[in-house]
Amino acid sequence: MAKSYLDGLRQNFSEQIDNLELSESGKARKISFLKERWLDQTIWFDKRASTTQSWYRKLRLFIVIGGVIVPVLLGLELDDEYNKIKSRVVMGLSLSIASCVAVEEFFNFGEKSLNYRKAAETMKGEWWKFQTLTGKYSKFSNIDTALPVFAQRVEQIIESDLQNFTEMMDEQLSEERKENQKAFDNTQKAIDELNINLKSQLEVVNQRFDSPTPHNSNGKIPEITVKNSQDRTATNSLTQTIENKMTSEREYLIPLGIAAREWQEEEEDLSVSS
C-alpha cells in the first residue's frame, strides 16, 4: 500500500531527527521534544490545512455549479408534468446551495485553511534554518547550542496560531451578536407596531360600544315597539345581527403584548358594570 503524504513526511523528518548530531547529555529528552512537540504539531497543522482546504473547495465548487444550473432550469419551458419535477429539483438545489453557503460561512474553512497552511510551512521553514544553522541560527556553532532557540521559536509559532484562532472566533461571535441584536430589535419594533394597531382597533370597538344606541341594563339593545308581526320579526332579526356583530368584534380583536393588560382591565370593567 502506498504511503500517504503525511506518513512520508513524518518518516522523513523522524529520520532527520534521529541523525542529528546531539550530545549524549539529555539526548533522549531533546529527541522527544523534536518528535512529540515540533513534528507532531507540524503534521497536525499540515493535516488540518489539507482537510479544511478540501472542504472549502468542495463547498465552493457545489455553490458555483449549482448557481449556474438553477437559472438554466428556471429558463426551460417544459410540459406541466415535467414542470412539477423541475420545480422540485430547483427547490432542492436552491436549498442545498443555501445550506452549503451557511456551512462554509459558519466553519470558515477558507480562512482556517490559510492559517493552518501558514503555520505548517512556518514550522517547516524554521526546521530547515535550525538544521542548517542559517538565519537566526547562524551565530551558533552546533545544533546543541541552537536547540533552545529553536524550541522557543516553535512555541512562539504555536502561540501565534492559537492567538489567530481565538481572534477569528471572537470576531465571528461579535458578528453573530450584532446579527442577533439586529433581529431582536426588528422583532421588538414589529411587536410595538402590532400593539399600536391592535390598540387603535380596540379604541374603535369601544367607541362603537359607547355610541348613542340605546342599551338596557344587561347591555342588550331593547326591543322596539312595532305594529304588526312582520315588522316585529324584521326588528328582532336586525337586533340579533347587531348583537352578534358586536360580540364577534370583541372576540376577534384580542390584542397582544403591551395592550393585552389594558384590554383585560377594560373587559373586567365591562363585566362588572353589566
In a domain, residue 248? The reply is yes
Same domain, 223 and 159: no
Q: What's the domain count of the chain?
A: 2
Torsion of CA 181, 182, 187, 191, to 10 degrees: 90
What was the pLDDT predicted at 210?
61
The per-residue pLDDT for 3 is: 65
Give residue-wise pLDDT tens across range 123-166.
999 999 999 999 999 999 999 899 999 999 999 999 988 888 88
128 and 36 together in one domain: yes
Q: Domain boundary at 169, 197, 232, which?
A: 169
**Residue at 134 is within a domain:** yes
Tell me if 77 is assigned to some domain. Answer: yes
Is 155 in the same domain as 218?
A: no
pLDDT of residue 56: 96
Tell whether 145 and 262 lie within a shared domain. no
Of 169, 201, 223, at which residue does a domain stop?
169
pLDDT at 125: 94
Domain contains 192: no
Task: Examine the domain organization and report whether 143 and 39 are in the same domain.
Answer: yes
The pTM (predicted TM-score) of the whole model is 0.61
Mark whether 49 and 165 lie in a shared domain: yes
Please check whether residue 236 lies inside any domain of the structure: yes
Q: What's the pLDDT score for residue 167?
A: 83
Residue 244 is part of which domain span? 212-273
Report pLDDT for 202.
78
Closest by alpha carbon to 196, among 146, 259, 273?
Answer: 259
Q: Please say which residue of 150, 169, 188 terminates a domain.
A: 169
Residue closest to 60 by CA, chosen among 103, 10, 7? 103
Question: What is d(CA 251, CA 105) in angstroms, rounded to the nearest whole number?
Answer: 47
Q: Are residues 161 and 221 in the same domain?
A: no
Can you list the residues of the chain whose pLDDT is less than 50? 1-2, 215, 219-226, 252-254
Contact 65, 143 (CB under 8 A): no
Residue 99 sits in the same domain as residue 160 = yes
Amino acid 1: pLDDT: 44
H or E segment and range at residue 126: helix 109-132
Residues 6+ apart with CB under 8 A from 179: none
Q: Which of 48, 53, 22, 54 is nearest to 35 (CA)?
A: 22
Q: Examine residue 46 and state whether it is found in any structural domain, yes or no.
A: yes
pLDDT at 226: 45
Grid look-up 504511503 returns 3
Residues 148 and 228 in one domain: no
